[in-house]
Structure 1
């Protein structure tokens, strides 16, 4: 699939993705990219985050590919069973946080932290670092198995965000292009 033929929906994590984050940079570069906005980026709340994602997918005019980071990955897992059938063609999932980390973020995140262990109804690539402070590689492997996602080992990459030196993240963009190509 070509990016020009898709609605590419970026799903940031807690506090959104700042101007130096690879998601923001990619969104600015990809003409069909758009952010799934939340009313409150500083508070994880399952129902509004899931509903906003479902609304955006339902309103898409082309096939959708989701690009999620951190808590946004958990939001995709929660929303997947509620998404319109056949609209999402794939999900590029980066640096999912552990359930423990999600619980510790704030008291409102308890239901958000109960990340489903069910197969996603679309192809997914999960990119995980071996040195992510928010989830062990073993936890990422467990998510990938449960979701039926392919796992990509990003090595020693921290949380794969601007703070870990992944501002533009060109290697990730190349991996994303390869993922789109696999989708057909």
Structure 2
């Protein structure tokens, strides 16, 4: 992304991302990447998760690209709703993969405290990737979240929750979405210069 150094910040969802998860592969592959670590991956508390994301973004002055999965996407939306303008400016964009609909019927009780999901536009460019058979969010719900967040959206066919269980370990094809988002951010920066 231009001549700036970008820090890739991996934002896992509920129960974290195992070593086999594509987010872990990406963390090992992308230069200058880090992971938001949570104190409790099994019993997530919205305030704690948002605070952990805030600490990671504030830790360095380097511009950040967020790479979120599942409950991590909802954490990003909650953080963006309450973050200071100075910290919001550090985020160049967000790749939001398989957002978890914590308002859906049958949603695990551990995730209920993340409801309601903020639906205001995110103050940075974003790309949402959903799936037409994701048990955590229907394609229609993923598109509804994308409209609220003003994210570009793509729905994959038969990708499940885009996780290890669905066969997404390295997910090399996902880098194309990341690079497409980065190219869009670069175009926006050139037009506003």
Partner of 1:19: 19
TM-score, normalization by structure 1: 0.93
Partner of 2:185: 183
Q: Structure 2 unaligned runs (5+)?
A: 187-193
Q: Work out the number of aligned pairs and report it.
A: 183
Hey, which bits of structure 1, 4+ residues long, moved more than 4 A?
none
Q: Root-mean-square deviation (CA), in Å? A: 1.8
Partner of 1:71: 71
Choose from 150, 157, 164 the match for 1:155. Answer: 157
Choose from 116, 119, 126 the match for 1:117. Answer: 119
CA distance in 2, matches of 1:45, 1:3: 37
Partner of 2:145: 143
Deviation at 1:180, TM superposition (A): 1.3
CA distance in 2, matches of 1:126, 1:31: 22
Map 1:1-184 onto structure 2 (within 5 A). 1=1, 5-83=5-83, 84-101=87-104, 104-107=107-110, 109-184=111-186
Q: Structure 1 pair 62/140, CA: closer, same or farther in 2 (3 Å)?
A: same
- SS for the counterpart of 2:107 is helix
Deviations 1:66-120 (A, max 9, x none): 000000001001001233131101000000111235973225x333121111110
CA distance in 1, matches of 2:154, 2:3: 21
CA distance in 1, matches of 2:105, 2:8: 25
- SS for the counterpart of 2:173 is helix
Tell me which structure has the larger Cα radius of gyration.
Answer: 2
